[in-house]
């Protein structure tokens, strides 16, 4: 009897495929038949993976799924990295979902918060990316995966173009566990530029009537960078990049780090840092990196996804970007996150809220966003063994005990003390710690980056070196010292701040050789999107909302 | 609109040369203008007058102004601020710019 | 390579300082006089010591000029009673003293919060500008930002002898949002920034002859352009208005039914539309055959 | 009060000589008589919007007057809701068309033509600025809608409640809409009532007009615009130093 049991899953897949019958011609499904087909291949109780990545969305399949009724589709355990589309929310409203495990809900953060309040969002956990992918191989293996690709050929091989993102991490566990992989593609062609997913791992293909939705996420208009952000960027460059000789890194997607990228060819060059810092990047193809790349600062860039408009530029700079045999850009979120976890000297990013212990979050009662890739990179990888200059230097400062690694990854939070509308960034307690949120998350506070992992906080007031603090009280005093005129900052004690400054744990701009009066947008390599296009020699095609020429 | 005034102890301005007044910043969303004038009494206080469109932040205003008066010899000046919701960092930045203009002339 | 200060990013005071001879600017009715708008104060809106326009006397290339710069950040650079009276006074002084007057424009027109007073002030300033022109005193408008010259100030700018523009500058009367509301999104999508600039931006204005110079977005380039115009004035004579009438009739006849700005560019001799769109002001000027 | 037709209005102003005024697409041009002398008439009616073509037609008529009727007074009638809000009009430089019309009027003024405006209907925004407000002297029928915009429209744009604006307009006539408050600001020399003999009034207006812009003085004297004149004088004094 045991022999039969070991093949039950395969048998079940065969039954599902059997039910499909004439709805598909081989692997190929016409768009009209998709709702029927979904009904027949998905069973109640299934773990269903709906590809919703940070950028690309299997939106046609999601929309078709949302047309079904609860009687056709219920008790679904939904797993997906990003809840992005109204169709995703619709599944919850219709009561089809028994449980959801996800990472991020940025664009639908408010809708998710509403669902939580209405008790219609049965969440297992909010994950970090690699954590969720990992669970696809352990206890959240999809029975059915609905994915998105750029092109398919007549055999069902898939081409993912610039936005590989999550696809391989979804397909592999599904395909190798007798699950069903169903891909929507923008077009079916005779010959693919390259094969990213072999036909062998694909069960169904539909040519969607509209191209898949791609979020333009990483385009930061230099025109929106402020003088204050330039000041912070200068402070970070001198006080962290230069000090630790940071060679490999990840940048967040905010304006703060965009300012740093645009200062490299100007201010960075003046400081003689070219070749010493910022050579290896794990980051999406950020348009604001173009001037640094064109000035020869950057050796390589590996990315978790693409960026709209960067296709021709990345193809033309194949010495820097990873490209396929066809010459076009390649990305991979799982591998990129792995690289960002183990192989970089520094992660630097922004956050909406930081508490007095250095924990940060973007979640509040009215907006539940979850995490992007930040936590995988913004943490200490204690599995790391290889040394680099920056890692060892940061480690030495942290004064590791006999049972700790000798090095430390630099995990830097770069924030202005106030957000827009005078909302303070620094708070005594995170909004995310609100009881209703913790209850929905089974007692877990959705912290983006834990204070223990953070090594530095940079604000317009200066740098707080948390790794060098020797006690919780000291860390709190260091945070207050750079929290400016927020309620948290107003509680600082002058003498304490001066003592921390004397010990170099708190550094004001002047202490790292930056004169605030020098901080000006005029230092940026370019002040607008048009300038980026010029820097790229016309290879960058910005999205239309950024074009005013 | 919220209006308040307070004088903060500050060492007297070093120079008597330079311009009689200086202005930095502009009144606009999230921004402010700071006018610094010489010849205010007493000479060991920075006399501040603030008009802001966002009420309720008096404590952080007073702290920022007090810090400035503490760090810079600005005694004998009158500081008048028209604010349209600037963050404190801009308050400090504009104060410093106006002060530099006042004491060192243009640029 | 290092970055540069863009004129359109500077404040009104910085623009004047960057444009005129070093330390030559003497402000009139300066901030310590605290001439602020009683209208805004009554409405609980922040006031500004210069009421959104900085005026004074300066030298440019050694030549005496009167100069004004509007503050676009302050209520959109809009003209209220005090703001407008400062402008009227300045142009009247220019006419009286026969000193050229440069107006760095950044204004959406009349300040609605002050009602008709701003409208009358613009009309009065127009009269003062023509007083200058009657005396052959040059009046030069500089339009270099996206706030640009709109509404009554758009009209006023066309009363000056000359207009110096950059690719960032916009000149018009009704703004894109108003027109979109009126005509619908199909006729004018105000979010289509490329279309907005091709409709009202410096390049199109230069091509059609409504801007007399199209220069780099820098104080140096604007100074050079202004300096060249300081010695000239554009006389209003029967011949000149008749010529202009013909020009404008021809323009309307040629392009009155042309919705596509690219077609206008092409007809005016621009061959490479994409290249010309990306080009800087002076590059564009070189690429395009100057329109009449 | 019923709105009189455009023709009836012309007849009230110019008597039988009004037949010399032709109307095309609500733009009027022609010659008539006032106070026994020949006058050139330009203007708008029916609250029309002024576009590029309209501005050109008005300008052409002013040029015709300068060329063929030296020193004939020019009477400008204003009944227009504004400039044509149109993308193509903007692209072609509507502002420049208005600037040209103003230049023509300026040339006429310098060549001895008196410029008189009568606001007969709507006299608002760019449509008023582009010719009517450029006269030597401006008059308005009391039925005319003169000013920047009604408080309701002002409220819609500024987001300030109508009630607040109305209350303030009691002490600040600039915020009020209409011929009378506009006259308080000095923007209108005199408001003509329905019972007035407007032919006689027009003749007198032409006879007494001078090219000196007296609006700031009037505004100060009448108390509607208390600051403008003083500020202007301060600038003139400061610049003379």
- For residues A87 and A229, state if they share a domain: no
Q: Do A486 and B60 touch (CB under 8 A)?
A: yes
Window 238-267 of C: residues touching D by CB (8 A cutoff) are: 238, 240-242, 244-245, 248-249, 251-252, 255-259, 261, 264
C11 neighbourhood in chain A, CB within 8 Å: none
What is the CATH architecture assignment of D6-212?
Alpha-Beta Complex (3.90)
Find the length of chain C: 292
CATH code of the domain covering residue A495: 3.40.1080.10
- For residues A188 and A287, state if they share a domain: no
pLDDT in tens, B17-62: 778 999 999 999 999 999 999 999 999 999 999 999 999 999 999 9
Q: Is B63 on the interface with A (CB under 8 A)?
A: yes
Nearest to D231 among C35, C152, C173 (CB): C35
> A545 in a domain, yes or no?
no
Nearest alpha-carbon partner for A183 in A60, A35, A53: A60
B39 neighbourhood in chain C, CB within 8 Å: none
Nearest alpha-carbon partner for A362 in A377, A375, A376: A375
> A540 in a domain, yes or no?
no
Q: Is C191 on the interface with A (CB under 8 A)?
A: yes
Q: What is the pLDDT along chain A (549 residues), one digit of tens a residue?
A: 455 567 899 999 999 999 999 999 999 999 999 999 999 999 999 999 999 999 999 999 999 999 999 999 999 999 999 999 999 999 999 999 999 999 999 899 999 999 999 999 999 999 999 999 999 999 999 999 999 999 999 999 999 999 999 999 999 999 999 999 999 999 999 999 999 999 999 999 999 999 999 877 778 999 999 999 999 999 999 999 999 999 999 998 899 999 999 999 999 999 999 999 999 999 999 999 999 999 999 999 999 999 989 999 999 999 999 999 999 999 999 999 999 999 999 999 999 999 999 999 999 889 999 988 899 999 999 999 999 999 999 999 998 889 999 999 999 999 999 998 889 999 999 999 999 999 999 999 999 999 999 999 999 999 999 999 999 999 999 999 999 999 999 999 999 999 999 999 999 999 999 988 789 899 999 999 999 999 999 999 999 889 988
Residue ranges of domains in chain C, CATH in brackets: 7-171+211-233 (3.90.226.10)
Tokens 């009904």, located at residue: A39
> A42 in a domain, yes or no?
yes
Nearest chain D alpha carbon to C251? D92
Burial annotation D203-231 (CB, 10 A radius, 16+ → b, else e): bebbeebeeebebbebbbeeebbebbbeb
Window 168-207 of D: residues touching C by CB (8 A cutoff) are: 168-169, 172, 174-177, 181-182, 185-187
C218 within 8 A of C225, measured Cβ to Cβ:
no
Is the preceding omega at residue C81 within 30 degrees of 0, hence cis? Answer: no
Q: Three-class SS string for chain C?
A: CCCCCCHHHCCHHHHHHHHCCCCCCEEECCHHHCCCCHHHHHHCCCCCCCCCEEEEEEEECCEEEEEEEECCCCHHHCECHHHHHHHHHHHHHHHHHCCCEEEEECECCECHHHCHHHHHHHHHHHHHHHHHHHCCCCEEEEECCCCCECHHHHHHHCCCCEEEEECCCEECCCCHHHHHHHHCCCCCCCCCHHHHHHHHEHHHHHHHCCCCEEECCCHHHHHHHHHHHHCCCCCCCHHHHHHHHHHHHHHHHHHCCCCCHHHHHHHCCCCCHHHHHHCCHHHHHHHCCCCC
> A453 in a domain, yes or no?
yes
B87 within 8 A of B62, measured Cβ to Cβ:
no
Q: Is B54 on the interface with A (CB under 8 A)?
A: yes
Judging by DSSP bridges, how do beta strands D137-141 and A180-188 pair with one another? unpaired
The residue out of A151, A183, A214 marking a domain boundary is A214
**Rounded to whole angstroms, how far apart are CA atoms A451 and A458?**
14
- For residues A404 and A482, state if they share a domain: yes
Q: Which two tokens stand for residue C70?
A: 């509007």
> A542 in a domain, yes or no?
no
For chain B, report the end-to-end CA distance as a whole number of angstroms: 32
Q: Which domain holds residue A68?
A: 26-214
Q: At what angle do helices A227-236 and A255-263 cross, to 10 degrees?
A: 70
A88 within 8 A of A65, measured Cβ to Cβ:
no
Please indicate whether chains B and D are in contact, defined as at least 3 beta carbon pairs under 8 Å: no
Please indicate whether chains B and A are in contact, defined as at least 3 beta carbon pairs under 8 Å: yes
Question: Which ipTM did the prediction report?
Answer: 0.88
Nearest alpha-carbon partner for D35 in D67, D5, D73: D73
**Rounded to whole angstroms, how far apart are CA atoms A131 and B37?**
60
Tokens 């003999």, located at residue: D197
> A503 in a domain, yes or no?
yes
- For residues A159 and A198, state if they share a domain: yes
User: How many domains are contained in chain A?
Assistant: 2
Judging by DSSP bridges, how do beta strands A418-419 and A423-424 pair with one another? antiparallel
Q: Do D148 and C112 touch (CB under 8 A)?
A: yes
């Amino acid at each position: 009897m045991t022999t039969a049991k070991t093949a039950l899953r395969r048998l079940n897949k065969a039954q599902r495929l059997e039910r499909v019958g004439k709805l598909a011609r081989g692997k190929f499904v016409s768009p009209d038949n998709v709702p029927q087909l979904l009904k027949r291949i998905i069973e109640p109780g299934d773990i269903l993976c709906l590809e919703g990545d940070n950028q690309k969305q299997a939106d046609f399949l999601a929309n078709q799924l949302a047309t079904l009724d609860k009687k056709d589709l219920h008790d679904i355990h939904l797993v997906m990295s990003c809840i992005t589309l109204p169709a995703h929310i619709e599944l919850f409203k219709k009561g089809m979902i028994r449980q959801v495990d996800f990472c991020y809900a940025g664009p639908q953060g408010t809708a998710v918060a509403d669902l939580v309040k209405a008790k219609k969002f049965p969440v297992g956990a909010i994950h970090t990316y690699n954590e969720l992918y990992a669970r696809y191989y352990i206890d959240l293996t999809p029975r059915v995966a609905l994915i998105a690709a750029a092109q398919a050929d007549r055999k069902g091989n898939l081409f993912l173009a610039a936005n590989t993102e999550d696809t391989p991490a979804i397909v592999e566990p599904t395909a190798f566990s007798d699950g069903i992989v169903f891909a929507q593609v923008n077009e079916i062609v005779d010959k693919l530029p390259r094969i990213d997913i072999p036909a062998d791992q694909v069960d169904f293909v539909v040519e969607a009537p509209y191209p898949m939705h791609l979020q333009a996420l990483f385009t930061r208009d230099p025109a929106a960078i402020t003088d204050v952000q330039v000041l912070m960027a200068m402070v970070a460059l001198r006080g962290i990049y230069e000090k630790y000789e940071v060679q490999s890194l990840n940048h967040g997607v905010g304006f703060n780090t965009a300012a740093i990228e645009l200062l490299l060819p100007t201010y960075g060059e003046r400081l003689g840092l070219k070749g010493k810092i910022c050579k290896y990047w794990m980051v999406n193809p950020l348009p604001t990196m173009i001037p640094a790349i064109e000035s020869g600062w950057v050796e390589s860039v590996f990315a978790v996804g693409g960026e709209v408009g960067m296709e021709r530029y990345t193809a033309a700079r194949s010495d820097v970007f990873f490209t396929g045999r066809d010459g076009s850009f390649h990305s991979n979120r799982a591998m990129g996150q792995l690289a960002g976890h183990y192989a970089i000297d520094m992660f630097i990013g922004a956050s909406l809220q930081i508490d007095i212990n250095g924990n940060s979050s973007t979640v509040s009662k009215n907006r539940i966003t979850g995490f992007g890739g930040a936590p995988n990179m913004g943490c200490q990888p204690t599995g790391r063994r290889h040394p680099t200059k920056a890692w060892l230097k940061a480690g030495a400062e942290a004064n590791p005990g006999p049972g700790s690694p000798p090095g430390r990854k630099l995990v830097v939070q770069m924030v202005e003390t106030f957000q827009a509308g005078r909302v303070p960034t620094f708070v005594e307690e995170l909004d995310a710690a609100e009881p209703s949120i913790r209850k929905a998350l089974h007692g877990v506070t959705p912290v983006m980056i834990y204070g223990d992992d953070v090594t530095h906080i940079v604000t317009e007031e200066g740098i707080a070196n948390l790794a060098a603090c020797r006690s919780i009280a000291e860390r709190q005093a260091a945070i207050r010292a750079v929290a400016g005129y927020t309620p948290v900052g107003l509680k600082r004690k002058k003498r304490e701040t001066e003592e921390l400054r004397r010990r170099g744990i708190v550094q004001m701009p002047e202490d790292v050789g930056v004169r605030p009066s020098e901080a000006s947008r005029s230092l940026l390599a370019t002040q607008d999107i048009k300038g980026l296009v010029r820097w790229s020699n016309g290879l960058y095609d910005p999205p239309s909302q950024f074009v005013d020429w | 609109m919220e209006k308040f005034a307070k004088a903060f102890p500050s060492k007297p301005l070093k120079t008597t040369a330079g311009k009689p007044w200086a202005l930095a910043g502009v009144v606009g969303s999230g921004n402010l203008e700071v006018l610094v004038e010489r010849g205010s009494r007493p000479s060991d206080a920075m006399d501040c007058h603030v008009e802001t469109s966002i009420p309720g932040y008096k404590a952080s205003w007073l702290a920022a102004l007090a810090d400035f008066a503490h760090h810079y010899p600005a005694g004998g000046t009158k500081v008048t601020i028209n604010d349209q919701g600037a963050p404190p960092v801009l308050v400090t930045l504009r104060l410093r710019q106006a002060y530099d203009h006042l004491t060192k002339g243009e640029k | 390579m290092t970055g540069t200060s863009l004129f359109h990013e500077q404040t009104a005071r910085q623009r004047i300082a960057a444009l005129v001879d070093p330390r030559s600017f003497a402000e009139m009715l300066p901030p310590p006089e605290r001439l602020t708008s009683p209208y805004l104060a009554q409405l609980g809106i922040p006031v500004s010591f210069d009421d959104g326009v900085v005026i004074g006397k300066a030298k440019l290339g050694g030549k005496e000029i009167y100069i004004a710069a509007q503050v676009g950040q302050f209520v959109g650079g809009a003209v209220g009673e005090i703001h407008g009276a400062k402008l009227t006074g300045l142009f009247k002084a220019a006419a009286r003293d026969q000193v050229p007057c440069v107006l760095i424009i950044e204004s959406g027109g009349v300040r609605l919060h002050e009602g008709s007073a701003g409208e009358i002030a613009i009309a009065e300033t127009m009269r003062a500008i023509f007083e200058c022109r009657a005396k052959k005193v040059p009046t030069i408008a500089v339009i270099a930002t996206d706030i640009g010259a709109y509404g009554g100030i758009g009209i006023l700018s066309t009363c000056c002898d000359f207009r110096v523009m950059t690719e960032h500058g916009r000149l018009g009367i009704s703004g894109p949002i108003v027109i979109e509301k009126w005509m619908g999104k199909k006729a004018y999508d105000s979010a289509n920034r490329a279309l907005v600039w091709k409709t009202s931006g410096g390049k199109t204005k230069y091509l059609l002859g409504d801007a007399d110079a199209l220069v780099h977005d820098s104080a140096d380039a604007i100074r050079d352009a202004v300096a060249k115009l300081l010695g000239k004035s554009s006389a209003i004579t029967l011949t000149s208005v008749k010529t202009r009438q013909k020009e404008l009739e021809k323009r309307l006849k040629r392009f009155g039914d042309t919705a596509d700005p690219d077609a206008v560019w092409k007809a005016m001799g621009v061959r490479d539309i994409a290249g010309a769109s990306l080009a800087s002001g002076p590059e564009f000027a070189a690429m395009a055959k100057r329109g009449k | 009060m019923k709105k009189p037709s455009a023709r009836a209005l012309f007849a009230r102003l110019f008597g039988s000589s009004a037949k010399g005024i032709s109307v095309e697409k609500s733009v009027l041009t022609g010659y008539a008589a006032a106070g026994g002398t020949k006058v050139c008439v330009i203007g708008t009616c029916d609250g029309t919007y002024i576009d590029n073509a309209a501005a050109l037609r008005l300008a052409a008529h002013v040029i015709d007057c300068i060329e063929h009727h030296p020193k004939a007074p020019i009477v400008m009638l204003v009944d227009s809701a504004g400039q044509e809000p149109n993308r193509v009009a903007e692209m072609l430089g509507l502002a420049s068309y208005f600037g040209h019309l103003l230049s023509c009027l300026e040339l006429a003024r310098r060549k001895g033509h008196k410029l008189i405006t009568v606001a007969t209907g709507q006299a608002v925004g760019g449509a008023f600025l582009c010719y009517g407000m450029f006269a030597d002297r401006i008059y308005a029928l009391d039925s005319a809608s003169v000013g920047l915009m009604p408080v309701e429209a002002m409220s819609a744009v500024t987001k300030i409640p109508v009630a607040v604006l109305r209350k303030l307009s009691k002490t600040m006539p600039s915020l009020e809409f209409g011929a009378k408050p506009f006259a308080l600001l000095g923007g209108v020399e005199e408001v003509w009532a329905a019972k007035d003999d407007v032919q006689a009034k027009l003749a007198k207006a032409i006879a007494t007009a001078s090219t000196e812009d007296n609006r700031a003085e009037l505004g100060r004297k009448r108390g509607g615009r208390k600051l403008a004149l003083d500020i202007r004088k301060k600038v003139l004094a400061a610049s003379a130093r």
